Amino acid sequence: MALRSQINSELKKMGSSGEIVGLLSFWCNECAWIGKRFADAHNLNHRCWILGQDARKQNTYPRRLKPRDSELIALSDFARGEFQKNHGITPAHTVPAAVDPLEFDKYEAIKDIDIMAAGSLIHLKRYDVFIEMVSEIRKTLPLVKAVLIGDGPERSGIERTIEDLALKENVMLAGELSHKQVLHYMQRAKLFLHPSSYEGFGVVCLEALYAGAKVISFCKPMKNEIARWLTVKTKEEMLENALTRLQDEKFKVEKILPYSITDQADSILQIFGL
């Protein structure tokens, strides 16, 4: 309650100076609850960006907020479909995740990392599958080098699995790093694996693409195909395709930018009529 009061106080200060032209809430949750109530009270446009987990059925805020479809923006086709399925409202807008090329180092890094993954080490992200993939790949490529970046409650279990499978020479747990450091590792990686079981739109996958890596994931964010990004249904498919890509003697670095941050910003401004 104290935090909610602080936020409302800051919004009132900004509103009194005429600085607010609209409110964009990230996630359809407590943030949207505060944003919508303030916007309604001050006759402002409010939009809610559905980013992933908030599209799931367990989220009770959509029932409480009762948003109109015109108020909702989905981060991906997948998030849009999930929200419609679980809450009966189809977001009127879809504005995909995006990448800012200016955040990347301009020099071309040496591709000395075979496989990489990055994210919060939580059960949903399934990084145990990542370790399993490395273990299987090592049977064909004994010197395979993998890097896992991130921290979280699953870390100790992952460390035990690495120990049990004797993968210390193959897998580096880099821990939590700055965004700049993560991008640097991506520029060194040939293949980015994203084993998450649920994902609104993994920005890390877009970043890996722009860093010159190929991507394999279980979740498909957009209906259209994205170059150098393969989605698979099973671990067997992931393993088979990972090996194919790592053994490709014609591998070349190619930066892919499906969605830019400037296009994303323009889309949001258009939704607000600006």
CB 146 within 8 Å of CB 132 = no
Q: Look up the domain containing 109 and give its range.
A: 101-246
Asked, for residue 257, whether it belongs to a domain, the answer is no
Query: Based on the domain organization, do 41 and 132 belong to the same domain?
Result: no
pLDDT at 131: 98
pLDDT in tens, 42-90: 889 999 999 999 999 999 999 999 999 999 999 999 999 999 999 999 9
Query: Based on the domain organization, do 110 and 231 belong to the same domain?
Result: yes
Residue 152 sits at the vertex; the CA angle it makes with 186 and 123, to the nearest 5 degrees, is: 95
Query: Based on the domain organization, do 90 and 139 belong to the same domain?
Result: no
CATH number at residue 118: 3.40.50.2000
CA 90 – CA 113 distance, rounded (Å): 41
6: confidence class by pLDDT, cuts 50, 70, 90: confident
Query: Based on the domain organization, do 207 and 137 belong to the same domain?
Result: yes
CA 76 – CA 223 distance, rounded (Å): 9
Query: Based on the domain organization, do 33 and 55 belong to the same domain?
Result: yes
CA 24 – CA 20 distance, rounded (Å): 11
Asked, for residue 226, whether it belongs to a domain, the answer is yes
Asked, for residue 253, whether it belongs to a domain, the answer is no
Query: Based on the domain organization, do 241 and 105 belong to the same domain?
Result: yes
pLDDT in tens, 100-129: 999 998 888 899 999 999 999 999 999 999
CA 163 – CA 153 distance, rounded (Å): 17
Query: Based on the domain organization, do 76 and 122 belong to the same domain?
Result: no
DSSP string, the chain: -HHHHHHHHHHHHHHHTT--S-EEEESSSHHHHHHHHHHHHTT--EEEEE-SGGGSTT--HHHHH---GGGEEESSHHHHHHHHHHHS---SEE----B-GGGS-SS-----EEEEEES--SGGG-HHHHHHHHHHHHTT-TT--EEEE--STTHHHHHHHHHHTT-TTTEEEEES--HHHHHHHHHHEEEEEE--S--S--HHHHHHHHTT-EEEES---SSS--TTEEE-SSHHHHHHHHHHHHT-TT-------SSBHHHHHHHHHHHTT-
Share above pLDDT 90 across residues of the chain, in percent, rounded to a whole number: 83
Share above pLDDT 70 across residues of the chain, in percent, rounded to a whole number: 100
Average pLDDT along the chain: 94
146: confidence class by pLDDT, cuts 50, 70, 90: very high
Residue with tokens 């080098």, as numbered in its chain: 145
**175-203: average pLDDT:** 96
Query: Based on the domain organization, do 77 and 108 belong to the same domain?
Result: no
- The lowest-confidence range among 17-31, 125-139, 256-270 is 17-31
Q: Name the domain count of the chain.
A: 2
Query: Based on the domain organization, do 88 and 116 belong to the same domain?
Result: no
Asked, for residue 266, whether it belongs to a domain, the answer is yes
Query: Based on the domain organization, do 63 and 35 belong to the same domain?
Result: yes
pLDDT of 152 > 70? The answer is yes
pLDDT at 106: 86
pLDDT at 248: 87
Asked, for residue 1, whether it belongs to a domain, the answer is no
Query: Based on the domain organization, do 124 and 236 belong to the same domain?
Result: yes
Query: Based on the domain organization, do 115 and 73 belong to the same domain?
Result: no
pLDDT at 1: 63
